[in-house]
Amino acid sequence: APDNIADCVAATDGVRDPDKAIRGTACCPPKLSDSIPPDYVLPNFPQLRIRPPAQRVDDDYIVKYRAAIAAMRALPDEDPHSWKQQGKIHCAYCNGGYSLEMNGLPDVKLQIHNSSLFYPFHRWYLYFYERILGKLIGDDTFALPYWNWDNPTGMMLPAMLAPVFDDRGNPNQLLNPLFDPFREVKHLPPAIVDLQYRGTESGLDCIDQINTNLSTMYSQMINQTTDTFFGTNPGDDGKGTPGSIENGAHTSVHIWTGNSKMPNREDMGNFYSAGYDPAFYVHHANVDRMWHVWKGLNPLTNKDPIDDDWLNASYVFYDENRQLVRVYNRDAVDVTKMGYDFEPSRTPWINNRP
Ligand code: C2O
């Protein structure tokens, strides 16, 4: 992992035409001090933050969540807590913003996707994002919602993310800060998500699409080993192999949500821009839940990686107090130690052997 954010460079890997990258490829975080980031110590949480399924929250929750995002959007861009800086984190870590020394090679570009770094990196990313939102609204128990795309009741883009229109009929981000203009219009509700989407419409009717999705979940969650579920560690070239969910449902939901008319399928369809759509964090809350659910399916066989390379891999983030800190995979394996858990939602795909 990077030693210093000072080493961060413009991130253009995987961006088709950087000049057409509307979100910009200058992704490095602001530097507030020269000191080396200390190791992060998880606080003791007196109460768990319970993440709810997005399709089942009440109006009070939506009002609160929107207020938190509005407060984040209102911060000046240079603030490490701002909407823009939070979005940039994904770009810096995923499009080649950092290089690192690895296996004796001096300059391997860090790419936390397509490898076993995928789950823990995103877990920490959401952890701080959630803590920052809680801080902005003065509620330490605030928990992110999850886009429950593995359950038939959650297979549409969550309604809370949809546009709210002003008097003149225009979608207005002030009325709904969870709205993002760069999404695929034909995939707004009531379209059913396609968990195998790679850019071509499946043409399935609603019932068949739901059943296909459940079988897809079964294949990617059941009978996976630690290696196939997490993917493998980055090797000498910085590349590993992706885990089943990362490569499957996770990537499909990204491509399905991004706008096919944009040069880089912004926002959700490209690593560099995905963090600018509020849908990203709701989507990843469910990806994170899949890690937790998978371990619960069979605690005897479904285990986290235990090799030192994985356990000691680290990232740097600004915490909710604007302290730059270093976090480790080894501290991300237990959600309750990180102060949160998931409100249960049924996992009917368990019965959908294809
Ligand atoms: Cu960092 Cu969903 O990708």
Q: Is the CB of 135 under 6 A from ligand 1?
A: no
Number of the ligand 1 atom closest to the C-alpha atom of 284? 2
User: Is the per-residue pLDDT at 142 higher than 70?
Assistant: yes
CATH of the domain at 99: 1.10.1280.10
Ligand 1 centroid vs 270 CA: distance in angstroms?
A: 9
Q: Is the CB of 90 under 6 A from ligand 1?
A: yes
Q: Which tens digits make up the pLDDT trace of 145-175?
A: 999 999 999 999 999 999 889 999 988 888 9
Give dist(CA 288, CA 249) in Å, integer.
12
Active site residues: 90, 113, 122, 250, 254, 271, 284
Give dist(CA 269, CA 255) in Å, integer.
4
**Domain total for the chain?**
1
| Residue 205, domain extent | 5-351
Q: Which residues contact 68 (CB under 8 A, 6 or more apart)?
A: 133, 134, 136, 137, 142
- The pLDDT-based confidence of 23 (bands split at 50, 70, 90) is confident
Q: Is the CB of 254 under 6 A from ligand 1?
A: yes
Annotated binding site for Cu cation: 90, 113, 122, 250, 254, 284
ipTM of the complex: 0.99
Ligand 1 centroid vs 74 CA: distance in angstroms?
A: 24
